[in-house]
Amino acid sequence: MKKRRRFWTVVEKLEALIDKGVYPAGSRLPAERELAEAYDVSRPTIREAIIALEVRERVEVKTGSGVYVTDFAGSDSSLKSISAFELTQARALVEAEAAALAAATIRETELSALKQALDDMSSAEKADEADQRFHEIISRATRNNAIVMSINNLWKVRRNEPQVIAAYKDVCSQGIEQRIKEHTAIYDAIAKRDSSAARKAMHNHFNRLINALFEASEAKALEEIKRKTDETRGLYSISHLTK
Amino acid sequence: MKKRRRFWTVVEKLEALIDKGVYPAGSRLPAERELAEAYDVSRPTIREAIIALEVRERVEVKTGSGVYVTDFAGSDSSLKSISAFELTQARALVEAEAAALAAATIRETELSALKQALDDMSSAEKADEADQRFHEIISRATRNNAIVMSINNLWKVRRNEPQVIAAYKDVCSQGIEQRIKEHTAIYDAIAKRDSSAARKAMHNHFNRLINALFEASEAKALEEIKRKTDETRGLYSISHLTK
DNA sequence: AAGTTCTAATTGGTAATCAATTTTAATCTT
DNA sequence: AAGATTAAAATTGATTACCAATTAGAACTT
């Protein structure tokens, strides 16, 4: 599986070095010829890699001078380490309002699709997909592309941020019937076109999630403390001396 | 000002042709050598341009076969034509909740910065910048990076979507004292740590904006109708015959 | 010390060449 | 004639070598 073009591997290596701080923001990269020798590729290949980094706005090329690392500090604030708590709180707020809106604007066909998603949540293998579908139907039912975009972006964080994925992993699997119960409440409220009930039901759903996240993280924190304590205990223990 | 590297001009031309539909999604671009001749540059330069397009995910390169245009239809759904109404509604919902949260979590230093932004709104040239700063301080005061991200993304739409820019242009300039009044109400509510008042004040602010947008678009629609009517009248008029 | 000039380093860009891969067409086999 | 095999053509992948344009810094002059 080495069919990828060479410059991509150079891009990855250089980007890793930039992220690692070996080439800090504002600093100059080694000359193209040096890089070519260092990575054992030709100069055009290095040029291609630099162009890729330039398109990604990681570096800036100054003719006759060199390649300089872009100051990327604030620019990538969109991916500034979002925790599972933050994400869930944000989702609670946005999706609750979306549900309230959707209760007023949803169509019959969407309502039946929502029911279908709810039913699909019962089967274990479809559950996660159905969950996502459920929320997406509601977001689209708002007839507001800005809201759809916002919720989509939050889902992107949900899918891409490692710490979020890890945190949700522990929580999602447990309490399936509880999850279905909450989604049913959301569905019922929307079906009744009751905006404030829909908002409340959605809030309730996410509240439970946040609490579950809290408990899980508490449990993990306790475990961590215990582990460290054990380590320390091992360090200072004198039991091995008396054995 | 032609210091830009050559491949960028090629990138622009090719991207324009792709957008225009000359090279539809899935179709193959001409061979590198043909492109090199067509744009009167060398083959490496064409390669660089293609790499730039590849990094942007506009094309896909298949070794020995050719360069194919990526199907970009659904991928860019995040920017699926958001109207000023949609954006404002979404901002109303999200920023109102942010204000409610911020009322509980804001610090004194942020509060004074908020006051500063409020004062700066009085001077005409700083007004827009101060407005943006005002809302950003609130979003950051939530201590929730997911919310900050969501609001930032909505601001991106605000700044980049042409139809949104045009719609806001007509509205923002008028009613400056009204705008300050609304922002003062928001500030007061947050300063009092009154979450529901902050939410309400923010809602009120955006409601006025939506109404203003409505009026402006109505006025424009009327104008458009009148223009078209005049055109038609001119077309069918017999006045020029009797003159 | 300040400004100027020159030189070396660096990126910008091209041409020519060969390798690897894919597509296409021709050829062979059944 | 249909299908499989093979060969050729087309295309991208990558390198070497070369020269031009720009920049940074050293050396020089005043």
- Asked if B233 CB < 7 A from strand D, the reply is no
Which strand (E) or helix (H) includes residue B237?
A: none
Tell me, yes or no, whether B1 lies in a domain: no
Residues contacting residue B60 through CB under 8 Å, at least 6 positions apart: B54, B67, B68, B70
Verify that A110 and A156 share a domain, yes or no: yes
- Asked if B5 CB < 7 A from strand D, the reply is no
Total CB pairs under 8 A between chain A and B: 110
Tell me, yes or no, whether A86 lies in a domain: yes
Distance between CA B119 and CA B146 in Å, rounded?
A: 28
Verify that B115 and B179 share a domain, yes or no: yes
pLDDT of res. B76: 44
Helix (H, G, I), strand (E, B) or coil at B174: coil
Helix axes B145-160 and A145-160, enclosed angle (nearest 10): 140
Comparing CA positions, the residue from B210, B206, B149, B160 lying closest to residue B183 is B206
- Number of Cβ within 10 Å of residue A219's Cβ equals 11
The pLDDT confidence band at residue A234, using thresholds 50, 70 and 90, is: very low
pLDDT of res. A33: 87
Tell me, yes or no, whether A235 lies in a domain: no
Among A60-74, A224-238, B73-87, the range scoring the smallest mean pLDDT is A224-238
Most confident of A26-40, A165-179, A197-211: A197-211
Cβ-defined contact of B144 to A89 (cutoff 8 Å): yes
Verify that B14 and B114 share a domain, yes or no: no
Verify that B22 and B126 share a domain, yes or no: no
pLDDT of res. A122: 86
Condensed to tens digits (0 to 9), the pLDDT of residues A213-228 reads: 887 766 766 666 766 6
pLDDT of res. A177: 83
For the CA of B34 and the C1' of D11, the distance in angstroms is: 11
Tell me, yes or no, whether A64 lies in a domain: yes
Condensed to tens digits (0 to 9), the pLDDT of residues A136-195 reads: 999 999 999 999 999 999 998 888 777 888 888 777 666 788 889 999 999 999 999 999
Distance from CA of A79 to the nearest CA of B (A): 8
Residues contacting residue B3 through CB under 8 Å, at least 6 positions apart: A63
Comparing CA positions, the residue from B199, B136, B203, B207 lying closest to residue B171 is B207
Contact status of B195 with chain A (Cβ, < 8 Å)? no
Helix axes A84-105 and A162-172, enclosed angle (nearest 10): 70
Residue after which a domain boundary falls, among A49, A69, A89: A69
Tell me, yes or no, whether B243 lies in a domain: no
DSSP string, A72-116: -TTGGGGGS---HHHHHHHHHHHHHHHHHHHHHH--HHHHHHHHH
Domain membership of residue B95 as a residue range: 81-222
Verify that A204 and A104 share a domain, yes or no: yes
pLDDT of res. A238: 47
> For chain A, what is the domain count?
2
Residue after which a domain boundary falls, among B69, B92, B111: B69
Tell me, yes or no, whether B241 lies in a domain: no
> Please, are residues B153 and A153 in contact by the beta-carbon 8 Å criterion?
yes
**Geometric angle at alpha carbon B94, from B93 and B98, rounded to 5°:** 120
pLDDT of res. B134: 95
Residues contacting residue B63 through CB under 8 Å, at least 6 positions apart: A3
Q: Name every chain A residue with its beta carbon within 8 A of the beta carbon of B94.
A: 93-94, 97, 150
Verify that A139 and A115 share a domain, yes or no: yes
For the CA of A219 and the C1' of C11, the distance in angstroms is: 56
Amino acid, single-letter form, for residue A39: Y
Q: What number is the average pLDDT over the span A67-74?
A: 76
Verify that A103 and A125 share a domain, yes or no: yes
Beta-sheet pairing, A66-69 with A59-62: antiparallel
Verify that A20 and A93 share a domain, yes or no: no
Q: Which two tokens stand for residue A185?
A: 């409440």
> Please, are residues B176 and B127 in contact by the beta-carbon 8 Å criterion?
yes
Residue after which a domain boundary falls, among A69, A95, A115: A69
φ/ψ (deg, to 5) at B69: -75, 130
pLDDT of res. A241: 43
CATH number of the domain where residue A45 is located: 1.10.10.10
Q: What number is the average pLDDT over the span A91-117?
A: 94
Nearest CB to A78 within list B47, B55, B149: B149
The pLDDT confidence band at residue A16, using thresholds 50, 70 and 90, is: confident
Verify that A215 and A111 share a domain, yes or no: yes
Distance between CA A67 and CA A54 in Å, rounded?
A: 9
Q: For the CA atoms of chain A, what is the radius of gyration? A: 25
Tell me, yes or no, whether B176 lies in a domain: yes
Residue numbers of A between 150 and 179 with CB closer than 8 Å to B:
150, 152-154, 157
- Asked if A48 CB < 7 A from strand C, the reply is no
pLDDT of res. B243: 39
Verify that A189 and A131 share a domain, yes or no: yes
Q: Is the predicted pLDDT of residue A78 greater than 80, yes or no?
A: no
Tell me, yes or no, whether A108 lies in a domain: yes
Comparing CA positions, the residue from B6, B1, B57, B64 lying closest to residue B36 is B6
CATH number of the domain where residue A128 is located: 1.20.120.530
Distance between CA A198 and CA A96 in Å, rounded?
A: 7
Verify that A112 and A213 share a domain, yes or no: yes
Distance between CA A61 and CA A65 in Å, rounded?
A: 8
Mean pLDDT by 10 residues, chain B (243 residues): 80 88 86 88 92 90 88 54 89 94 94 93 81 94 94 89 82 76 94 94 91 78 66 50 41
For nucleotide C20, the protein residue with its alpha carbon nearest to C1' is B64
Verify that B100 and B188 share a domain, yes or no: yes
Q: How far is CA A67 from CA A30, A59, B91, in A?
A: 8, 7, 40
Q: How far is CA B33 from CA B36, B41, B50, in A?
A: 5, 10, 12
